[in-house]
Homo-oligomer: A and B are copies of this chain.
Amino acid sequence: MNIGDVARLSGLPAKTIRYYEDIGLIRPKRSANGYRSFGDSDLHRLAFLGRARALGFTIEDCRSLMALYQDESRESAQVKRIAEDHLHRIDDKIAQLQGMRATLAHLVSCCAGDDRPDCPILEDLGAGEADCCKG
């Protein structure tokens, strides 16, 4: 299989697959013409990577997870720790975004959005406090 084939099958862009080889996540063979030659196991690894990335794991997490995946003597606790850490990072990020969302949604709801210049959004950014709910 050439890179285009595994790209189609794995759903990953060819560019990304070359990048994954660059950073050592996969090691496809080479054909006589210099083309990368992917076997089923390469495709399997790429699919694994695609799913791990889709869950938001970092590349370094993926490297660790792949190593554990190949390691018959792993302890599931090792995997779980990585996943739980990641889960906490996601929760932190969600909380942060929800905080932003709340403030922003409030400001947006206070803004007339018409042709006049008065704008509680800009007032808030300028003053550090929302005027739209006062007095």
Contact = CB atoms under 8 A, between A and B. Distances in A.
Contacts of A119: 68, 74, 76, 79-80
Contacts of A124: 51
25 contacts: A44-B126, A48-B125, A51-B125, A51-B128, A54-B100, A55-B103, A56-B100, A68-B119, A68-B122, A69-B122, A72-B117, A73-B117, A74-B119, A76-B112, A76-B117, A76-B118, A76-B121, A79-B119, A80-B113, A81-B113, A83-B104, A83-B108, A90-B97, A94-B97, A94-B98
Interface of A: 44, 47-48, 51-52, 54-56, 65, 68-69, 71-77, 79-81, 83-84, 86-87, 90-91, 93-94, 97-98, 100-101, 103-105, 107-108, 111-119, 121-122, 124-126, 128
